[in-house]
Amino acid sequence: MKTYQSLCFSHAPDWARVPVGAIDSFHWEAEAPFRPESRFRLCFVKGQGVFAHLWTNELSPRCVCRERDDPVYEDSCLEFFFAPFADKGYFNVEMNSGGVFLAQYGFAREDRVLLKSLTDLSPRVTPLSVQTGWGVECALPCALIERVCGRPFSAARGTYRGNFYKCGDKTAVPHYAAFAPVGAMPPGFHAPEHFATIRIREEEPWNH
């Protein structure tokens, strides 16, 4: 089982200290595979939420979708799936290079519900400036997670589940990559049994 270990901050994330993970397990490839190098970082901030940076060296991304909850997985897309509780469902936030996103919640592929139908709170998605390619920042506020899951969430150290993806259904060369390898299509990326283990520990103070 794939594992990712990161940090919980008591202040704004210090991204230079957050470990980098590789989205490099490719699936369902065509005869002429396209394998963009894609990476992510994930951390928590106490009392604020879950923060993810995802980026890729894809130079000419497809970016057609313009409205929230458009099918951005058809564009060049980076995705963050996160399960905050073992007995609850998981969030999926799928984002194109313009920062347009599709956000849902549920227990499996078949029962996804748009977040905007569950709460007026929203993930925060911002395009990142990267030297080669494109990227996005995604934040899931504690208040959003609490509203949807119906229990307190403080964004603290502990063990969670989730995964990170790069895809593009209607790009010049469709491609499907994951951090933790997934199974067949379907269910594809919506396979929580294949999610990675995410371990979050308290930040360590600098040594002076």
CA angle (143 as vertex; 138, 145 as ends), nearest 5 = 65
pLDDT of residue 204: 67
Tell which residue, 102, 113, 89, has the closest CA to residue 167: 102
pLDDT of res. 207: 43
Q: Where do the domains of the chain lie? A: 3-9+18-202
- Which pTM value belongs to this model? 0.96
CA dihedral angle for residue 65, residue 68, residue 71, residue 74, rounded to 10 degrees: 40
pLDDT tens for each residue of the chain, 208 residues long: 899 999 999 989 999 999 999 999 999 988 889 999 999 999 999 999 999 999 999 999 999 999 999 999 999 999 999 999 999 999 999 999 999 999 999 999 999 999 999 999 999 999 999 999 999 999 999 999 999 999 999 998 899 999 999 999 999 999 999 999 998 888 999 999 999 999 999 886 544 3
Q: Which of 79, 63, 78, 59 is nearest to 131 (CA)?
A: 59
Pick the CATH number of 3-9+18-202 from 2.60.120.200, 2.60.40.1190, 3.90.1150.10, 3.40.50.970: 2.60.40.1190
Strands 3-9 and 38-45: parallel
**Confidence (pLDDT) at 205:** 57
